[in-house]
Each structure stands twice: as structure tokens, then as C-alpha cells.
Structure 1
Amino acid sequence: MFRDKLQSDRLVSEKQTENLKTELAFLRSQVSPHFMFNVLNNMVTLARKKSDQLEPSLFKLSSLLRYMLYETDEEKVLLEREVEYLQSYIDLQLQRFGSKVKVNLVMEDYDKNCFIEPMLLIPFVENAFKHGTGFRQNSEINIELKAKTNLLDFRVSNYYDNSIAQVKDKTSGIGLQNVKRRLDLLYKNEHTLTIENKDNFFTVTLQLNLH
């Protein structure tokens, strides 16, 4: 009878683990198709203009897709790879927006041997581009990343117009609720997420204990 109880508990645990993996895979997969369409449309324009920017853009998109398709199945990835993905994403967005958007990117020396849940940081940056552009003639997005002794400090801020943003929210891609759920599943009691909307500036700060 005791053996049956152990086997039953093991089966329940395995089922819970499988359900967790399934949910995480689903949450990771929700990359905004709107962004992909915009990137591809921009590349069509570059091709028509026979622009020299087309080839490097294709390489960046290829790198971005390779990471999404082949590396995000891992439970954890090197922080360096996540940062490279962020950089490719930002570069493609800047090519699309041109001088209309300025990104102030500060990445201090970080431990490249740290591991992190894949696709965890991109929603904050995607959210900044989605809701922080189009309100001003020259929009600005500020991104800071620090990682020392297994402690990650990540901050993203952008100008935010509440009256216009309410319309944009209806077509949001990866949402902050997605990130909150993943943080609760994987980093429960090991993270602090602060979201502040003050003086029309939206700031997200994530502090995370990396394993």
C-alpha cells in the first residue's frame, strides 16, 4: 500500500512537471507576429531599393529566428545568448524606425556564464517599442542591464501617453502578464518586478537571482 502511494505521488509529480513544461513552452512561443510582419515588410522595401542594409538585416533576422526555434527549448540559456537576441531585436527595430527612435542601451560587464530562462527579457523591450514609439517626433527608450554574482538588474523605460496607449493595448503581443506568470513559475520568491507609470514615463525594473 505504501508502495502504491509512492507510485501515485510520483505520477502526480510527473504530470505536474509535464504540465509546467507545456505551459512554459506556450508562454515562450507568444512572440508578436506583428513585429515579424513589420520586419519582413521593411526588408521588402530594402530589396526594392537594392539597399546595402538588406544583407546584414537578413543575417540578424536569421540569428533571431534560430534562437527562437532551436535554443528556447532549453530550460536555461547563457545570459550572453539572451543579450545577443535582445541586441538583434533592437537593431532590427532601429532599422525599421530610423531616426524616429533613439535607444540608450547600457550594458555593464556581466558574468557571461550566468544562465537565464530564455525569452524572459524580450517582452519588456518589445513592450517599450510597442507603447513608447509614435507619441513624440523623437522617441527614446532606455535599457540598462547589470549582472554580477548571480544577481540580474534589468530596467527598461519609455515615454508613455495613456490616452493613445489604451488603443495600442488592444493589439498587444507578448504582455507583461505573460512575464509575470513565467517569473512566478520559475523564480518564485527569487525576483522583484516593479512597474511604475509616473509623469508619462513607464518604467519596468526586474531584479532576479540567477541560478
Structure 2
Amino acid sequence: MVDAFWLQSPQNLIAAGGDVTAIDESLRISLARRQAEDLTNKYGERMGKRVLESSLIKATEKGESEILGLVAIEARLFDLDKKVIMSAEQSELVLKNAVASLGPKQRRQYKDSSASEIVAELTSPEIRAICVLSNLSVSPNARRKGLGAMMCTEAERMAKEDWHFDQIYLKVEEQNDVAKGLYESKLGYEIKFTDPSALGLRVDVDAGDFSEVPAATLVLAKDL
């Protein structure tokens, strides 16, 4: 994913002043390790049940282990009034606090409840559980073959049939014309609002790490 998404993206994802040719093998390995840790924390197995659903969809050639593409989906909380999609950590904290505010007997009643059920019954009306698509990445060797669209379609199927959502959301940077073309023209997503104060991740070559930079971002959605 480091090569496919960060270093060979049609959108320039190198921090200002950085030189992609200065990225040696040791830095690639370090960035890949950081990326793997992040994906494992968000979508890997962990002790105990996740409060919010999450899944990482991988595309490979039949009988091969090389990953040609990735896309992730996860449940998040959306504040309708503030037009803010909460982070996974914020979303989980809101749900846990809502259940923790109940008495012992009531808490047991929500032990196996879905995020949507907890939100509907225990949080304020402006909070909604939604499904978010993210981290779409296709290997340079597999581009222009429709793989990105196919993975998104599978993510949409999972969101609807397995998780029972009737909409799916995503964020895309306003300057990312290639991704916007896929989401809007080919997959039928529509722009809901713009977040001009959003932050985007970039590869900071000098620091040898990822860093956040201001990046105006669009929030798109699609009915399932």
C-alpha cells in the first residue's frame, strides 16, 4: 500500500519539499511497517468484541499471495448538526459512555446490541451510525482494469447485506480528481458537504514518517 497509494499515486502525496527519489529501501520498509500497524489496529482481530464493525477487503490473483488492491469499510458515528464524521476512537467512546451511564441490569441488555441500536436508543437525535468506505488502493500493475470499482462494489454489498446499512459514505480530498471521477461518475456517489478545515496525510521524506497537512475534503454518500 505504501508504494501503490503513497509513492505512486496519481495525486501527489509527498509532503511539500520532499523528493520521492530520496526514499530508499529502509524508509520504504519503515513506512510500510507504520502502515501495517495502523491497518492491523483498525481492522485486525483483537481481544473482545469490537463495538463498531470494521473490515479490510483485499484483492489478489487466484492462487497468488500478492495483494493487488485494498479497500476498507467501518462503522462510525456521524453528527448531523455539526456535519462531522467522528473518528473510530471517538465513535467507540461515545457508544461505551452511553452504555456505561446505565445501571448494571440495563447494561446487560445492550451487551450484544449493534452500534445502530445503541445510537437509536441511547444517544441524542443528531447522532447517527453510518458506514464509511476508506483506504482504497490499487497496485500500479493492476490499474485501469476496473479493480477499484469492483472492490468498492463488494464493500457496498457487505455494508448493505451483512451490516444492514442503507447508505455508505466516504471522504475524498477536493484536489483528487482521479478518485472523484471514480466515485461520482462510475459508482454514483454524490457530494453531501465540504470540510475546508480537514487534514490529509502525506509522506514526510525528511522526517521519514507520515505527517498531517491541511487538505480541503469532500464528503460523499450513496444510497444502497
Q: Which has the higher strand share?
A: 2
Confirm or deny a common fold (TM above 0.5).
no
Provide the TM-score with structure 1 as the length reference: 0.30
Higher relative contact order by CA 8 Å / sep ≥ 6: 1 or 2?
Answer: 2
Higher helix share: 1
